[in-house]
Amino acid sequence: MNNKPLRKIRMFDTTLRDGEQAPGAMLRPEQKITIARQLAKLGVDTIEPGFPISSPGDFAAVQQISREIRTAEICGFARSVKADIDAAVQATADAERRRLHLFLSSSNIHLDFQLRKSREQVLAIAYEMISYARQFVERIEFSPMDATRTGDEFLYEIIETAIRAGASIINIPDTVGYALPDEYGAMFTRVMKNVRGSDKVEFSAHCHNDLGLAVANSLAAIRAGVTHVEVTVNGVGERAGNCSLEELAMAIETRKEALGVETDIRVEHLYETSQMVSRAMSFPIAFNKPIVGRNAFQHEAGIHQDGLLKNRNTYEIMDPEKLGIPRSMIILGKHSGRHAIKHRVGQYGVELNEAQLESLYVSFKEIADKQKVVYDQQLLELVGQAAGRVLE
Ligand code: KIV
Ligand code: ZN
């Protein structure tokens, strides 16, 4: 057992900004406010409630959330453009604690085809806009967009420029979900070692899930020393989404000794938060999604069910009740064994002798071969029939 104190990882929730960029996931301002309250209850450290310049509705939502939420830091999001910065400064003016998040592309492909600017021009914009924002807000986060396809030399240069201009949080996004975990972690290690001024700033990870690696990449960044991680509830976001809040929070909670870190997330609110966001966005959750999916704590295989009934730790590494999820269920289906059937009918107060169980088991398997799940009502009907047959 490692007795070293655990390092705190700050959870930055961007469900209401990057998450809302998921195709078809639009939220109305009042829905954003309700979700922001829930995020504060969940214990996230920072909430990015939207993109104030993008619409009057988003501006109003960011403003209302800044006025109401006192326990989390509020982040105003802006391109490296004066009008965006002004809107983000105004929308977050009443926040108890706030930061501004400025981004600017850094990879050649973005510079050549999207911004159509040279590296020198991009460095000048970054310096000028961060200095401008810094006049109004002390905590400035800067993100070199598409950082993982940028190349070390220019990445160091733009980060150094951002630090000189006054940024105190450097977020290095894997914008297109391209990085592999060892690469992403090593990139932070190199940046922290080689960029002048890096010892004076905090680092943040922001991962997309195009290759299904967002959580693994975020963990690699944590191992490399970042203190902030940007996440969304249910992993919603552009394309395949962002790093999932509940998956990362539970990876840390379950393996905190191995990772040496902890978060302030109140895991008992994870499930209700996930349900709320799924409903508000009309985004169904995949049955097999870790932590919050319907099947995440359900067991069908007979061998697993048998083990669980003897000791839950045989096939469960987390206690679903601690996440606010109703006790994990054993699904009765064609893989279930006698032990699970006996246990389930026992929950209804029915004690079966061996002959009754054997008879029940045969008819149970006949039904289970025809349908995915055998429901409790059907099981109880079978119990009655089996009892009758054995008595005859
Ligand atoms: O994915 C991304 O690059 C972003 C930045 C703007 C942080 O969302
Ligand atoms: Zn993003």
Residue nearest to atom 5 of ligand 1 (CA): 145
pLDDT at residue 384 in the model: 82
**Percent over 90 (pLDDT), the chain:** 82
In this prediction, residues 217-231 reach a mean pLDDT of 98
Residue nearest to atom 2 of ligand 1 (CA): 175
Amino acid identity at 29: P
pLDDT at residue 387 in the model: 65
Residue 390 predicted with pLDDT over 80: no
The torsion angle over the Cα atoms of residues 63, 66, 68 and 74, rounded to 10 degrees, is: 150
Residue nearest to atom 4 of ligand 1 (CA): 175
User: Distance, CA 259 to ligand 2 centroid (Å)?
Assistant: 24
In contact, 165 and 185? CB cutoff 8 Å:
no
Residue nearest to atom 3 of ligand 1 (CA): 175
Q: Binning pLDDT at 50, 70 and 90, where does residue 392 land?
A: very low
* Residue 145 near ligand 1, beta carbon < 6 Å: yes
Residue 329 predicted with pLDDT over 80: no
Q: Binning pLDDT at 50, 70 and 90, where does residue 389 land?
A: low
* Residue 206 near ligand 1, beta carbon < 6 Å: yes
Tens digits of per-residue pLDDT, 252-276? Answer: 999 999 999 999 999 999 999 999 9
Q: What is the spatial distance between Cα 260 and Cα 257, in angstroms, rounded to a whole number?
A: 5
**Residue with the larger pLDDT of the pair 209 and 301:** 209
Q: What is the mean pLDDT of the chain?
A: 94
Q: What predicted TM-score, i.e. pTM, was given to this entire model?
A: 0.91
* Residue 18 near ligand 1, beta carbon < 6 Å: yes
In this prediction, residues 332-336 reach a mean pLDDT of 92
| CA 266 to centroid of chain Cα atoms | 14
Tens digits of per-residue pLDDT, 293-309? Answer: 988 988 878 888 888 88
Residue 11 predicted with pLDDT over 90: yes
Q: Which ligand is nearest to the CA of 237?
A: 2
Classify the complex by whether its ipTM is higher than 0.95, answering yes or no: yes
Tens digits of per-residue pLDDT, 150-207? Answer: 999 999 999 999 999 999 999 999 999 999 999 999 999 999 999 999 999 999 999 9
Residue 212 predicted with pLDDT over 70: yes
User: Distance, CA 272 to ligand 1 centroid (Å)?
Assistant: 27
pLDDT at residue 187 in the model: 98
Q: Which ligand is nearest to the CA of 146?
A: 1
pLDDT at residue 391 in the model: 43
Q: What angle is formed at CA 246 by the lines to CA 240 and CA 252, rounded to 5 degrees?
A: 115
Q: What is the spatial distance between Cα 145 and Cα 174, in angstroms, rounded to a whole number?
A: 8
Q: Binning pLDDT at 50, 70 and 90, where does residue 331 land?
A: confident
User: Distance, CA 300 to ligand 1 centroid (Å)?
Assistant: 40
**Within 10 A of 182 (CB to CB), how many other CB atoms are there?**
11
Query: Which of these, 65, 13, 66, 8, lies nearest to 44 by C-alpha position?
Result: 13
* Residue 289 near ligand 1, beta carbon < 6 Å: no
User: Distance, CA 173 to ligand 2 centroid (Å)?
Assistant: 7
Closest-lying ligand 1 atom to the alpha carbon of residue 21: 8
Query: Which of these, 235, 165, 160, 173, lies nearest to 199 by C-alpha position?
Result: 160
Residue nearest to atom 6 of ligand 1 (CA): 103
pLDDT at residue 107 in the model: 97
